[in-house]
Amino acid sequence: MALTIIKSHLNNTHYLVNFQQNSTRRNQNTRIQTKHIFHFNSLQHFINLSMKKSLSSSSSSSSLIKSSLIDPDGGPLVDLVVPENEKALKKKEAESMPKLKLSKIDLEWVHVISEGWANPLKGFMREDEYLQSMHFNFLRLNDGNIVNMSLPIVLAIDDKDKETIGLSSDVGLIAPDGNLIAILRSVQIYKHNKEERIARIWGTTAPGLPYVEEVITPAGNWLIGGDLEVLEPIKYNDGLDHYRLSPRELRKEFDKRQADAVFAFQLRNPVHNGHALLMNDTRRRLLEMGYKNPILLLHPLGGFVKADDVPLDVRMEQHSKVLEDGVLDPETTIVAIFPSPMHYAGPTEVQWHAKARINAGANFYIVGRDPAGMSHPTEKRDLYDPDHGKKVLSMAPGLEKLNILPFKVAAYDKTAKKMAFFDPSRAQDFLFISGTKAHFLLKDILLAPHCKPVSLKARIVKGGYHNVYQPEYRINWCTCLTKHGPHKWLGPHLAEHGGWIH
């Protein structure tokens, strides 16, 4: 059941937002309307107004808040894993097909497609889908409706692979471990114009883009599309598979917990106190809006990340300790891994992140500053405007049914000695820390021989440093959340720079 947003002009700065069930989709051929972004001051205005109306007039449907889990994008969730009773026959058939060897990142995309994260996509893109995604950021369905699809999901092959496939219409896909993992049906091979793809997705062809250097530059000059039949569920056997819940499994969990709203928070780094403040405050606001049981989906990205990001196993252990210590409520929080690789493509990629969470059942999406962004690889500046991500999400075609919740600005409150939302009336009481300063400061602190953090989470992150440390290594948003107060040596250093210590 899609959620639509009906807006009534109240004054120059506020909108009345009503949630109503709607069984029909709007005509996608009409002009795209920019939808209001849910800033919290505006929410408070709505909360006060709607509560007054609901108390004074139970017959007024405009003041009632109705919610259900959001429908998957483009129809029922696809499930491309072959049924158990068909596997033996499919595997035998695949043995006689030409074979393609997948990279680790190719396998991550098979995982993404097979579980319905890219719903309604049923395989690697053929040329028409690729061109629509690359040039329009959406796919047009047979019924004329559109679904957002801002990142092309494609499989590259080289000249030798193309020759091996020949005129075959079906191809077997081999996982990095050598096992036959899937069949690609009714294949189409077309030209891979790498420069055009890079320029369209990232807005630059500058050297040093992590996904480009890892995936696209060394890839072949051809793309192959087709429908996937996955012979076995994708498993990584890294001790984290129990966190890898599919969209279908997440929806079942939301139903089990009787969620009437789901708000998703994506991250690729450890949770810091500013994150925790924001997530807890978001739940409080949703409760004030009238929702009875909003559930947080804490959804770290689990696919490819650049070498200097915190490793997944370190992040997941830190996330589990955040719940164990009660920083986030385990009764109202689900921690799961989002299997997608990371592009670092800013406003283009953040649409993909939001669309995938629709398929998982989230009807609210928290978006931060410079989502999916990075520093320019060759110049001393951000690659993308830090505000463009949330603005693009408010206008993106195909994402109209998703409610966008932008970050409030959090900083270290020297008076309260903790992270708090920035109050401009007493700006002198707040400290901000830049990402660059955090990178250098925390790396130096946590790698110092005499650093003995008392928090288990600090030890986890410190372990992550030593496991992947290189001279140029940078770490984002390292956290020492502890209920026992700052460490006598580590705490003052972080507090001095607006650090994230309870």
Residues 258, 138: contact at Cβ < 8 Å? no
| Residue 137, domain CATH | 3.10.400.10
* Within-domain flag for 253: yes
Each residue's pLDDT tens digit, 110-166: 999 999 999 999 999 999 999 999 999 999 999 999 999 999 999 999 999 999 999
- 353 and 213 in a common domain: no
d(CA 464, CA 490): 17
Choosing from 177, 201, 230, the residue where a domain stops is 230
- 269 and 160 in a common domain: no
Instruction: Work out the burial of residue 89: count CB atoms within 10 Å of its CB; fewer than 13 is exposed, 13-18 middle, 19 or more buried.
Output: exposed
Each residue's pLDDT tens digit, 53-79: 333 333 333 333 333 579 999 999 999
* Within-domain flag for 478: no
Non-local (6+) Cβ contacts of 94 within 8 A are 170, 172, 180, 183, 231
Beta bridge partners of 147: 139
Choosing from 411, 430, 453, the residue where a domain stops is 411
| Residue 400, domain CATH | 3.40.50.620
* Within-domain flag for 352: yes
- 407 and 308 in a common domain: yes
- 401 and 278 in a common domain: yes
Choosing from 230, 261, 296, the residue where a domain stops is 230
pLDDT in tens, the chain (502 residues): 443 333 333 233 322 233 333 334 334 343 344 444 443 333 333 333 333 333 333 333 333 333 357 999 999 999 999 999 999 999 999 999 999 999 999 999 999 999 999 999 999 999 999 999 999 999 999 999 999 999 999 999 999 999 999 999 999 999 999 999 999 999 999 999 999 999 999 999 999 999 999 999 999 999 999 999 999 999 999 999 999 999 999 999 999 999 999 999 999 988 888 788 889 999 999 999 999 999 999 999 999 999 989 999 999 999 999 999 999 999 999 999 999 999 999 999 999 999 999 999 999 999 877 788 898 999 999 999 998 999 999 999 999 999 998 766 666 778 877 677 777 788 787 776 543 344 444 544 444 443 333 344 455 555 444 443 332 322 333 333 333 333 333 433 443 333 333 3
Residues of the chain with pLDDT > 90: what percent?
61
The amino acid that residue 255 corresponds to is: D
Helices (H), 414-498: 435-447, 456-468, 490-496
DSSP 8-state secondary structure symbol assigned to residue 404: E
Torsion sign, CA atoms 192, 195, 198, 199: negative
Residues 117, 192: contact at Cβ < 8 Å? no
* Within-domain flag for 479: no
Q: Helix, strand or coil for residue 400?
A: coil
Token readout for 242 is 């129990």
Angle between helices 194-202 and 127-136 (to 10 degrees): 40
Domain limits for position 311: 241-411
* Within-domain flag for 426: no
The amino acid that residue 270 corresponds to is: P
- 252 and 215 in a common domain: no
The amino acid that residue 325 corresponds to is: D
Structural domain total, the chain: 2
Beta bridge partners of 403: 364
- 256 and 405 in a common domain: yes
pTM for this model (two decimals):
0.78
* Within-domain flag for 369: yes
